[in-house]
Amino acid sequence: MALHCGRACRTYLLHLAHDNVDFRLPEIKALLSLRSRPFETSDTFREKSPFWQLNGLLEDDIRSVMSRTVCAKSAFELWGHGKTQSELKTSLLEYPPENMAPYLQQNLTYKINVYTFNKTLDFKDRIKKIDALDFLPFEGKVNLKDTDHIFCLLEDYGCDPNNIPEEPLHIYFGRWLADGQRELIRSYSVKKRHFIGNTSMDAGLSFIMANHAGVKADDLVYDPFVGTGSLLVACSHFGAYVSGTDIDYNTIHGIGKASRKNQKWRGPDENIRANLRQYGTESLYVDVLVSDASQTIWRKNALFDAIVTDPPYGIRESTRRTGSNKDIIRPPDDFAGESYVPVSMAYHLSDIFADLLNFSAHHLVLGGRLVYWLPVYKPEYCEEMVPLHPCLTLISNCEQTLSSHTSRRLITMEKTKEPEDSDQVVHLADPRFSSYQGHNSFREKYFSGLTKKNGRESKPPQKNE
Ligand SMILES: C[S@@+](CC[C@H](N)C(=O)[O-])C[C@H]1O[C@@H](n2cnc3c(N)ncnc32)[C@H](O)[C@@H]1O
């Protein structure tokens, strides 16, 4: 640790986006753990704040996080902070001059930006705030266009837009290091994607899932409910090889009805491979298969570095599985037609999750992560409903609200041990390992909430929103 603190023991400031607030901490922790770095912060840390101070890291750790995050907007080396202008000044004057000196030299140009959260300042006030920093020993010249170093004064006016204080609650000053990858949300938008479906996952959430899973270059990622492959697109962006299955023949083969409003049938080459080609990652496409996630098709080996998936909830797509022979009513002896007729039967949500966890326990490498969405009926939700498995450790559980009475939770689990025979009876010792049957009525509860309030309730999510 002492070695690590040589040039470091500096504090870094993350400026976080104020959407998907619940997903931010697990994302940053997952990206730090890719470098085996802990998440260390100050005693005054507030998770909902748009500004987080991180300790015990190197500049390279921060740059690596910023090269992946879609939750953080920018990162700074923090030079000073306080609750008032004078506290900020005292803090800046205490910052070791030798840490500042390399960036303030005569031959270097610089500029200072002012960023305010929850308040808009006019140009005159911004200039005043910059002028108030004239005690800092800048020796170089200001250059607004092509500058060597950028500094930023960041003011936090709280999170309540109806109660904006006159003066900021917190003020920070630091050297800008890097921006995050928020631009990916626009450049990978499903609106501009070649192949989409009714349940294509939004780009921002797909990248968040890939980050929670800690997907990295050369990993092999699998999505057992692959649909149009939005999660594979995000994982391949980070250099992983990607594969998946879906029970729907048309989706896997990119044929049938289109999801776009002004298009009746899917065009040629509307498939997952073409999506990866669109983003320049076709070389990482392994393949996708028509297959039922309730049936085992893989050899019993730890094959995948991550399983990232969005199982069906029965709202915009049906939850079904193929039947086995014993489920088929035998035809009469004199029947002359095809001898095998595959049947499609209901696939209950609690079975979907139990199968998914069991599959992950067998087919993830040790340390590999499962990331998936669990739909919940909010009035009944409690943590005990989140499915557990003796081989998988729960890492995070974040909520995304769908309506006033439903939400989905992004669950991240890490494989921490190989399966053993004794795992099959673990639910006898601890009932939390039995699958929670209440998930099965999610569909009825989802729609019952909508009708109860005479349509004034928030509507179900629309196509591709
Ligand atoms: C929520 S969608 C996944 C959407 C996908 N993430 C995307 O971006 O397009 C769930 C998918 O699970 C598939 N599915 C339903 N039952 C299945 C089963 N038993 N086995 C495999 N896939 C199944 C559906 O056809 C659907 O494409």
Q: How far apart are CA 25 and CA 18, in angstroms?
A: 12
Which of 226, 289, 298, 349 best tests ligand 1's pocket when mutated (most atoms within 8 Å of CB)?
226
For 272, the 3-state DSSP assignment is helix
* Residue owning tokens 């069991």: 358
Predicted pLDDT of residue 463: 38
Predicted pLDDT of residue 318: 67
Q: Are residues 224 and 296 in the same domain?
A: yes
Q: Are residues 154 and 226 in the same domain?
A: no
| Ligand 1 atom 4 nearest Cα | 227
Widest CA span of the chain, in angstroms? 98
Note down the domain range covering 400: 187-330+338-452
- Residue 225 Cβ inside 6 Å of ligand 1? The answer reads yes
353 within a domain of the structure (yes/no)? yes
4 within a domain of the structure (yes/no)? no
CATH code of the domain in which 67 resides: 3.30.2130.30
In which band, very low, low, confident or very high, does the pLDDT at 268 lie, cut at 50, 70 and 90?
confident
| Tokens read off for 377 | 């009926």
Mean pLDDT of 115-126: 96
Predicted pLDDT of residue 255: 87
Contact 454, 410 (CB under 8 A): no
- Residue 355 Cβ inside 6 Å of ligand 1? The answer reads no
Q: What percent of the chain has pLDDT over 90?
A: 75
Predicted pLDDT of residue 434: 79
| Ligand 1 atom 7 nearest Cα | 200
* Residue owning tokens 């960023």: 115
Q: Are residues 87 and 148 in the same domain?
A: yes
Q: Is the pLDDT of residue 352 over 90?
A: yes
Element (H, E) at 29: helix 24-33
Mean pLDDT of 64-93: 98
Q: Are residues 433 and 290 in the same domain?
A: yes
**Residue 211: closest CA among 367, 23, 52:** 23
- Residue 200 Cβ inside 6 Å of ligand 1? The answer reads yes
1 within a domain of the structure (yes/no)? no
- Residue 199 Cβ inside 6 Å of ligand 1? The answer reads yes
Strands 320-322 and 344-346: antiparallel
Mean pLDDT of 13-21: 96
In which band, very low, low, confident or very high, does the pLDDT at 39 lie, cut at 50, 70 and 90?
very high
Q: Is the pLDDT of residue 190 over 90?
A: yes
Q: Is the dihedral of CA 25, 21, 412, 252 positive or negative?
A: negative
- Closest atom of ligand 1 to CA, residue 311: 10
Q: How far apart are CA 195 and CA 228, in angstroms?
A: 7
- Residue 231 Cβ inside 6 Å of ligand 1? The answer reads yes
Q: Are residues 225 and 155 in the same domain?
A: no
Contact 113, 132 (CB under 8 A): no
- Residue 312 Cβ inside 6 Å of ligand 1? The answer reads yes
Please work out, in degrees rounded to the nearest 5, the angle formed at the alpha carbon of residue 111 by the alpha carbons of 107 and 114.
160
Q: How far apart are CA 10 and CA 174, in angstroms?
A: 11
Predicted pLDDT of residue 390: 96
Q: Among 105-119, 220-234, 308-322, 448-462, where is mean pLDDT lowest?
A: 448-462
- Residue 259 Cβ inside 6 Å of ligand 1? The answer reads no
Domain boundary among 158, 181, 204: 181
In which band, very low, low, confident or very high, does the pLDDT at 326 lie, cut at 50, 70 and 90?
low
Mean pLDDT of 114-136: 96
Q: Are residues 149 and 237 in the same domain?
A: no
Domain boundary among 181, 213, 236: 181
133 within a domain of the structure (yes/no)? yes
In which band, very low, low, confident or very high, does the pLDDT at 332 lie, cut at 50, 70 and 90?
low
Predicted pLDDT of residue 422: 87
* Residue owning tokens 């010792």: 429
The total number of structural domains in the chain stands at 2
For residue 371, the CA-to-ligand 1 centroid distance in Å is: 15
Contact 120, 164 (CB under 8 A): no
457 within a domain of the structure (yes/no)? no
Please work out, in degrees rounded to the nearest 5, the angle formed at the alpha carbon of residue 238 by the alpha carbons of 235 and 240.
60
Element (H, E) at 60: helix 59-66
For residue 245, the CA-to-ligand 1 centroid distance in Å is: 8
Q: What is the DSSP string of 195-220?
A: S--TTPPPHHHHHHHHHHTT--TT-E
In which band, very low, low, confident or very high, does the pLDDT at 6 lie, cut at 50, 70 and 90?
very low
Q: What are phi and psi of 62, to 5 degrees?
A: -65, -45
Q: Are residues 71 and 167 in the same domain?
A: yes
Kindly report, residue by residue over 381-439, the tens digit of the pLDDT.
999 999 999 999 999 999 999 999 999 999 999 999 999 988 888 877 777 787 777 78
Q: Is the pLDDT of residue 339 over 60?
A: no
96 within a domain of the structure (yes/no)? yes
| Tokens read off for 356 | 């998914």
Q: What percent of the chain has pLDDT over 70?
A: 89
Q: Are residues 14 and 150 in the same domain?
A: yes
320 within a domain of the structure (yes/no)? yes
Q: Are residues 236 and 275 in the same domain?
A: yes
CATH code of the domain in which 237 resides: 3.40.50.150
Q: Are residues 210 and 166 in the same domain?
A: no
Record the pTM.
0.90
Q: Is the pLDDT of residue 444 over 90?
A: no
| Tokens read off for 281 | 């990652």
In which band, very low, low, confident or very high, does the pLDDT at 324 lie, cut at 50, 70 and 90?
low
| Tokens read off for 244 | 């998946």
**Residue 285: closest CA among 245, 248, 244:** 244
Q: How far apart are CA 427 and CA 430, in angstroms?
A: 5
Q: How far apart are CA 248 and CA 257, in angstroms?
A: 12
Predicted pLDDT of residue 202: 97
- Closest atom of ligand 1 to CA, residue 292: 20
pLDDT mean across residues, the chain: 89
Domain boundary among 163, 181, 199: 181
Mean pLDDT of 173-185: 98
Q: Is the pLDDT of residue 462 over 50?
A: no
| Ligand 1 atom 27 nearest Cα | 227
* Residue owning tokens 């699958």: 435
Q: Is the pLDDT of residue 2 over 80?
A: no
458 within a domain of the structure (yes/no)? no
Which of 207, 208, 246, 353 best tests ligand 1's pocket when mutated (most atoms within 8 Å of CB)?
246
Q: Are residues 291 and 316 in the same domain?
A: yes
| Ligand 1 atom 17 nearest Cα | 247
Predicted pLDDT of residue 465: 34
* Residue owning tokens 């306080």: 82
Q: How far apart are CA 122 and CA 241, in angstroms?
A: 49
For 458, the 3-state DSSP assignment is coil
- Residue 201 Cβ inside 6 Å of ligand 1? The answer reads yes
Q: Are residues 19 and 41 in the same domain?
A: yes
Predicted pLDDT of residue 108: 97
